């Protein structure tokens, strides 16, 4: 078993994952990267340039429970532990009012946000509880509580995800495991170091800083929180 802490990043090859992964590596974490594209995962591994013993990349469709179990098993086989989960699986379907939204748009958003979350945490959390330490954080949206017109499918998916994480936070209270949600309205992946020029957007660097705090020992009493990083709009 590695002595370093291990972070699993799901949806690792998106714009946020490509910022969070090197930040965590620089902080001394080993990395278990999970994504749906082998090509993009391999590219990220090459970019990071870590020693092979500090990183693993697993291709998985987390909408399928068996795939989630396989990814987590692979991380434990390599490292013997997973100490934190950054659930960054994203995507949205929207733009149509309720009366015109196809059924598949709701099914897709529930699969993308709720089922990917459930498939991972119900396999990972018992192992964290047994170890006496764990940090889980998902990136969500204020749309979970107050969706804009035309965003009902996305809002339903995110609301289901947040309900799952809220219940889970209560279940793991006082076990050494914490579960939190970071809400962003939009992620400006093109923003520079000076921040986003869009008032409603959050930069990957800003989200990475919040997640790294939530993963730290200093955040041991932060549990069941919805942390807004969206400028109140």
pLDDT at 40: 97
What 8-state DSSP symbol labels residue 56? E
Measured CA distances, 56 to 33, 35, 77, 104 (Å): 6, 11, 10, 34
Higher pLDDT, 143 or 6: 6
Q: Residue 183: pLDDT above 90?
A: yes
Q: Summarize pLDDT for 114-135 with one digit per residue, the tens.
A: 999 999 999 999 999 999 999 9
Give just the sign of the alpha carbon dihedral 6, 28, 13, 152: positive
Please tell us whether the domain made up of 6-228 is placed in CATH 3.30.420.10.
Answer: no
pLDDT at 199: 62
pLDDT at 104: 82
Q: In whole angstroms, give the CA distance from residue 13 to residue 38.
A: 10
Give me the long-range contacts of 104-107 (CB less than 8 A, separation at least 24): 105/153, 106/152, 106/153, 106/156, 106/157
- pLDDT band, very low/low/confident/very high, at 201 (cuts 50, 70, 90): confident
Q: Name the residue ranges covered by the structural domains of the chain.
A: 6-228
Percent with pLDDT over 70 in the chain: 94
Mean pLDDT of 31-48: 97
Q: In whole angstroms, give the CA distance from residue 85 to residue 150.
A: 31
pLDDT at 93: 73
What's the pTM value of the predicted model, to 2 decimals? Answer: 0.93
Q: Residue 195: pLDDT above 80?
A: no
Min mean pLDDT across 37-51, 137-151, 153-167, 168-182 is at: 137-151
Q: Residue 192: pLDDT above 60?
A: no
- pLDDT band, very low/low/confident/very high, at 66 (cuts 50, 70, 90): very high
Q: Residue 110: pLDDT above 60?
A: yes
- pLDDT band, very low/low/confident/very high, at 1 (cuts 50, 70, 90): confident
Cα-to-chain-centroid distance, residue 105: 21
pLDDT at 122: 97
Q: Residue 198: pLDDT above 70?
A: no
pLDDT averaged over every residue in the chain:
92
Nearest residue to 135 (alpha-carbon basis) of 47, 7, 42, 39: 7
């Amino acid at each position: 078993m590695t002595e370093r802490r291990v972070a699993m990043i799901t949806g690792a090859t998106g714009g946020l994952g490509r910022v969070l992964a090197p930040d965590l590596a620089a902080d001394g974490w080993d990395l278990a990267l999970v994504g749906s594209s082998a090509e993009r995962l391999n590219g990220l591994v090459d970019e990071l340039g870590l020693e092979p013993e500090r990183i693993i990349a697993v291709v998985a469709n987390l909408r399928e429970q068996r795939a989630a179990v396989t990814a987590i098993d692979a991380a434990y086989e390599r490292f013997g532990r997973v100490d934190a989960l950054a659930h960054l699986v994203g995507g949205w379907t929207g733009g149509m009012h309720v009366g015109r939204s196809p059924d598949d748009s709701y099914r897709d958003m529930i699969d993308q946000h709720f089922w990917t979350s459930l498939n991972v945490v119900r396999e990972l959390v018992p192992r964290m509880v047994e170890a006496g330490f764990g940090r889980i954080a998902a990136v969500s949206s204020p749309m979970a509580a107050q969706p804009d017109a035309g965003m009902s499918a996305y809002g339903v998916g995110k609301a289901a995800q947040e309900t799952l994480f809220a219940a889970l936070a209560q279940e793991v209270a006082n076990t050494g495991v914490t579960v939190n949600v970071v809400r962003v309205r939009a992620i400006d992946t093109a923003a520079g170091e000076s921040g986003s020029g869009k008032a409603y957007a959050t930069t990957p660097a800003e989200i990475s800083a919040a997640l790294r705090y939530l993963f730290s020992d200093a955040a041991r009493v932060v549990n069941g929180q919805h942390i807004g990083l969206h400028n109140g709009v």
